[in-house]
Structure 1
């Protein structure tokens, strides 16, 4: 069966990418793999490691809630959906999740800090390194 992977981060453009991926999944009678990656903002020292350990549970729950909220808008209960919450850098997680997939769908810009760019760093990395065709959905 065909597989379409979509990355979400809770941003409006990722919601648009999800809607696009849902329609394409229906057209292809495929399975939709919805991926949300998260990582700890703490790196380095022993204090940072302890802070990261303390935040692991809340960050993982927030990631699950992001997927729940995004999938709450999908009304087609016949759609085959696979959820993946991954502790990783977003581009790395999406490229890995797209192995063996027919298509990877990402939003052009997520929650990153440089709003004037046409592509965000994640969509740019996916376009360059994904093992399958990539669709970049603009807002």
Structure 2
């Protein structure tokens, strides 16, 4: 284990979207945290589909923000539990569910982090691309080093 310097943030932010790629990224981040003495923060994003949100902030009455948030929390917790259950030497993980487009949520969460870890492809519309759009955006604009884990 590497000694931590006082005041240094050894936080590793991992984007989790319920895909196999994000679970692999979480596995990699946990292994890296074990080696460096870092902490892991698993982050997932949620937002209303654009058809439901307007410039005036109005949404149809049938849309339940709390239900969407609960679903995001549940799927994040399930992914974390699955990956931690595979680990003989578990590392503590904090979780955050944040509102907004996934790329911007990850960039915000990554501010001040030592490292950001992402899967190579999630659930984007162009699943045949080498890098997913969120991963590509984060690699270009993150303020911390960013690792993209291949499938």
* TM-score with structure 1 setting the length: 0.91
1:98-117 correspondence to structure 2 within 5 Å: 98-117=110-129
- CA contact under 8 A between 1:37 and 1:93: conserved in structure 2? yes
Partner of 2:5: none
Q: For 2:120 and 2:90, locate their aligned partners in 1 and report how far apart those are by CA, in whole Å.
A: 28
Q: For 1:45 and 1:96, locate their aligned partners in 2 and report how far apart those are by CA, in whole Å.
A: 23
* TM-score with structure 2 setting the length: 0.84
* Unmatched tracts of structure 2, length 5 or more: 1-8
1:111-130 correspondence to structure 2 within 5 Å: 111-130=123-142
* Structure with greater Cα Rg: 2
- CA contact under 8 A between 1:91 and 1:123: conserved in structure 2? yes
* Unmatched tracts of structure 1, length 5 or more: none
Q: Which moved more, 1:74-83 or 1:94-103?
A: 74-83
Deviations 1:99-123 (A, max 9, x none): 1111000111101121110011100
Q: For 1:47 and 1:68, locate their aligned partners in 2 and report how far apart those are by CA, in whole Å.
A: 29
Deviations 1:15-50 (A, max 9, x none): 111111111111111110110001001222779612
Partner of 1:25: 33
Partner of 1:50: 60
Aligned length: 138
Q: For 2:27 and 2:77, locate their aligned partners in 1 and report how far apart those are by CA, in whole Å.
A: 14
